Amino acid sequence: MMRSLGKSFQMWKSRDLALVILIAVTHFVFTALIGQLAMLFTGILGSGLIFTIGHAIIISFAVLIYQGKRWRFLLQHVLFAFLVIPTYLLGIPFDVLPRIAIIIHGIQGDILFSSLYGIFKIRNKLIWLSVFVAVEFSLTVPFINILWHSLFYPPEFIAAYTNTVLLLLPVAIIESIFGGIIGYRIYQRIKKLGYVKDQ
């Protein structure tokens, strides 16, 4: 497995790496300017779900632009996890442990989305993949966060976070559906401009 992983990374082009870095930085800029505001002003962990649409647009667009290539989504999340350490996303700044949940989602998402891309591509249903990716993001990320946080934080903290997530989950799901559609439209626009070639 390590050998195949090594070969996969050797096949990367500089364009692939630049694309991953660009998306990770874009995600960080959104988080720094907008995504962390709810936590920053309220102090309520999980309140950032109110800005799910921005994350959903970036996540769904990334899956489409990577076109099923392995490890791009994971690397994007690893870079993003490091970039957001100084922000209030998932907790207080410079607390590294909560950000590891971002990498866990990167692993899970990379395996799932890269495997599904070909199926949706053949059937010409990438818009449904985009919406699925966005909704899966809004459902899976809080669940991963709850499991991960429960290893290090007291039950009262987890209960408060879970209550906030359950309260905002309907809003997050609706926003993620719209985010998935917008992410797909952005992908289609870039594709029409000739910046994306079918693999």
Model pLDDT for residues 126-156, shown as the tens digit of each residue = 999 999 999 998 899 889 988 988 888 888 8
Residue 104's contacts (CB-CB under 8 Å, 6 or more residues apart) are: 144, 148
Number of structural domains, the chain? 1
In which residue are the tokens 């102090």 written?
43
At 192, list the tokens.
């029409």
Identify whether 198 is part of a domain: no
The confidence score (pLDDT) of residue 2 equals 46
Identify whether 146 is part of a domain: yes
Identify whether 73 is part of a domain: yes
Residue 106's contacts (CB-CB under 8 Å, 6 or more residues apart) are: 73, 74, 75, 76, 77, 78, 81
The domain containing residue 111 runs over which residues? 13-192
Report which of 92, 94, 68 is spatially closest to residue 157, judged by C-alpha positions: 92
Identify whether 68 is part of a domain: yes
Spell out the long-range contacts of 28-34 with Cβ–Cβ below 8 A and sequence spacing 24 or more: 28/80, 28/83, 28/84, 28/87, 30/54, 30/55, 30/58, 31/55, 31/84, 31/87, 31/89, 32/84, 32/87
Identify whether 6 is part of a domain: no
Residues of the chain with pLDDT under 70: 1-12, 195-199
Identify whether 8 is part of a domain: no
Identify whether 54 is part of a domain: yes
Report which of 188, 195, 192, 176 is spatially closest to residue 53, judged by C-alpha positions: 176
Identify whether 3 is part of a domain: no
The confidence score (pLDDT) of residue 63 equals 95
Predicted TM-score (pTM) of the model is 0.87
The confidence score (pLDDT) of residue 1 equals 46
R_g (Cα) of the chain, nearest Å = 17
What is the b/e burial string over 138-156, where b = at least 16 CB atoms within 10 angstroms of the residue's CB? beebbebbbebbeeebeee
